[in-house]
Amino acid sequence: MSDVIDRESAAKMNIDQSMYDFRYDENDFYRNDPGLTEEIVLKLSKDKNDPEWMRDFRLKSLKIYNEMSVPTWGPDISGLHMEHIATYVRPNTTMKNSWEEVPKDIKETFEKLGIPEAERTSLAGVGAQYDSELVYHNIREEVAKQGVVYSDFESALWGDYADIVKEHFMRLITPRAHKFAALHGAVWSGGSFVYVPKGVHLSFPLQSYFRLNAKGAGQFEHTLIIVEEGADLHFIEGCSAPKYNVANLHAGAVELYVAKNARLRYSTIESWSKNMYNLNTKRARVEEGGSIEWVSGSFGSHISYLYPESDLVGEHARAEFTGVTFAGKGQYLDTGSKVVHNAPNTTSNIDSKSLSKSGGVCIYRGSVVINEKAEGAKSNVSCESLMLDEISQSDTIPAIVVKNDNIDLGHEAKIGRISDEAVYYLMSRGLSEDEARAMLVRGFVEPVSKALPLEYAVEMNNLINLELKGSLK
């Protein structure tokens, strides 16, 4: 597979035009040289004004990256060549806390994506990243007065919470986790730091939005969230990119720490362009009585490797994963989740749904590990796949490891197509065939829709409608 997707190939991939497919020129932007060398990493570290420990961490990660092999068990990513990827693209602006101060073209980008409007109506704070840097960041005053910290990651390296950041940075996702975790450790840029103090419950979500506008570039933001004992947070992550005829790369990292009796809901709507290699890594650590809830919608990218992991380390810790993946022509989306039960009476529930059309491939790859310490653990896994035509593909690859007899475990997998009987029934009630099939698809993904705030559920349904347009006959 070539690193360049030419126009003919792009046409064959039937890449959809959508609300996310717009771009602006990189006027006066800075981008580093393509590739990955020690000189590039050191230059990036200097440009970012890293503390010494972070510079050393980047260099160690680079060494690990060069030592590790590319994963061979998943989709083919031989079309991704790091020598053609610019790992750092900086827009010609500094971070602002007022939309009026953001450069016009960048501001227009986020207005088209609805971010300023969402901030005004339903969010406690917003971070907006454009290529490799945050260009806007703000938190409501009343939220900040509760002691909640929500900042760009670079500021957190030097602020009052610098020691906490150093203590937690890439401890859940180490550079040795896999080759692209090591890559992230070497060239990360941007992202958010969130700290919610003990007992604080946020009434509105926080949101970070990542827009990759540059061509032939990578985005490597780092998100670190710490929710202290008894606190409650809903964090939303959105991401998108315009389409190009060359490969782009996303290899971010998300580390979530959920303390005793705390709750964190982490919602993601990913609408990457279909020239994107999405190799993101997400992991949560949950203490006694704590809860992590993943809500995930994956609608873009050429190839994805994405498996959020929950490590349940305290008694009565809980993890829930609710996700939907939609693969169209030219897409191979390998997604799923992992839960590790490491304490007594822990609970996990996984509800994964996928849709494939026009030859798209959806793979559910899940793992549940119940270790010796996890007496009384309960886990339930449900994977359902819906193929919308005869040429698409869907598979489930569960991996279940049980080292304890005193547990309760259930697993269910279903793969099928839209029922002709159900379509006929709805048509008998006055719907057209396309309307009937679209209604059945929306019903299929309803568990994810109802788990999202209203405006994001609407966005997800719009994405589904775009993907379904003209494909259900």
| Digit-coded pLDDT (tens) for 373-407 | 999 999 999 999 988 888 999 999 989 999 999 99
Measured distance CA(252)–CA(183) in Å, rounded = 10
**Reported confidence tier of residue 1, pLDDT bands at 50, 70, 90:** very low
Region label for 468, one of left (φ > 0), alpha (ψ between -120 and 50) or beta (otherwise): alpha
Question: Per-residue pLDDT for 441 more than 80?
Answer: yes
Return the higher-pLDDT residue of 274 and 15.
Answer: 274
Which tops the pLDDT comparison, 257 or 15? Answer: 257
Non-local (6+) Cβ contacts of 117 within 8 A are: 111
The burial class, CB within 10 Å (0-12 / 13-18 / 19+), for 334 is buried
Q: What is the DSSP letter of 217?
A: B
Task: Give the residue from 202, 209, 195, 194 showing the smallest Cα distance to 127.
Answer: 209
- Residue 11 pLDDT exceeds 60: no
Structure tokens at 107: 């501001």
pLDDT at position 401: 96
The reported pLDDT for the residue numbered 78 is 92
Q: How far is CA 19 from CA 13, 280, 446, 466, in A?
A: 18, 23, 22, 9
Q: Is the predicted pLDDT of residue 469 greater than 80, yes or no?
A: no
At 147-169, the pLDDT tens digits run 999 999 999 999 899 999 999 99
Interacting residues of 172 by C-beta distance below 8 A, sequence separation 6+: 255, 256, 257, 283, 284, 285, 311
Phi, psi torsion values for 97, nearest 5 degrees = -115, 15
CA-closest candidate to residue 351, choices 444, 286, 416, 289:
444
Residue 443 has what pLDDT? 83
For 379, phi then psi, to 5°, come to -145, 140
pLDDT (tens digit per residue) in 327-342: 989 999 999 999 999 9
Angle at 273 between CA 268 and CA 274, to 5 degrees: 115
CA atoms within 13 A on the CB side of 213: 27
Distance, in Å, from the CA atom of 169 to the CA atom of 151, rounded to the nearest integer, reads 15
Q: Where are the domains of the chain?
A: 7-306, 420-473
Q: Which residues contact 186 (CB under 8 A, 6 or more apart)?
A: 36, 41, 58, 59, 61, 62, 65, 175
Tokens 């109802």 -> residue: 450
**Out of 118-132, 184-198, 316-330, 435-449, least confident range:** 435-449
pTM over 0.75: yes
CA-CA distance, 192 to 208, in Å (whole number)?
A: 7
pLDDT value at 259 more than 70: yes
3-state SS class at 312: strand
**Could you tell me the CA-to-CA distances from 158 to 134, 162, 188 in Å, in that order?**
16, 5, 16
Residue 212 near residue 158 (C-beta atoms within 8 A): no
- Give the Cα separation of 444 and 297 in Å (integer): 13
Q: Which two tokens stand for residue 58?
A: 């980047």
Higher model confidence: residue 140 or residue 437? 140
Residue 271 has pLDDT above 90, yes or no: no
Q: Output the pLDDT for position 463.
A: 67
pLDDT at 470: 52
User: Following DSSP, what letter does each residue of 334-380 receive, concatenated?
Assistant: EEEEEEEE-STT-EEEEEEEEEE-TT-EEEEEEEEEE-TT-TT-EEE
SS3 state of residue 465: helix
The pLDDT assigned to 240 comes to: 81
- Tokens, residue 34: 């393509």
In sequence order, the 6+-apart residues with CB closer than 8 A to the CB of 427 are 433, 436
pLDDT digits (tens, 9 = 90+) for 288-301: 999 999 999 888 89
Residue-by-residue DSSP string for 276-307: EEE--EEEEEE-TT-EEEEEEEE---SEEEE-
If you search the block for the tokens 């475990």, which residue do you land on?
409
Helices then strands, each counted (H, E), the chain:
13, 25
Query: Quick check: helix, strand or coil at residue 274?
Result: coil
Query: What is the CB neighbour count within 10 angstroms for residue 443?
Result: 11
- Two structure tokens written together for 89: 């693209």
pLDDT for 187 equals: 98
Q: How far apart are CA 356 and CA 333, in angstroms?
A: 10
pLDDT number for residue 3: 37
What pLDDT shows up at residue 7?
34
Residue 349: count other Cβ atoms within 10 Å of its Cβ.
17
Q: pLDDT tens digits for 32-57? A: 999 999 999 999 999 999 999 999 99
Residue by residue, DSSP assigns 137-206 as EEE-HHHHTTT-EEEEHHHHTTSTTHHHHHHHTTTSS-TTS-HHHHHHHHH---EEEEEE-TT-B-SS-E
Q: Of 20-29, 118-127, 390-399, where does mean pLDDT reach its minimum?
A: 20-29
Judge whether residue 115 has pLDDT over 50.
yes
Is pLDDT of 466 > 90? no
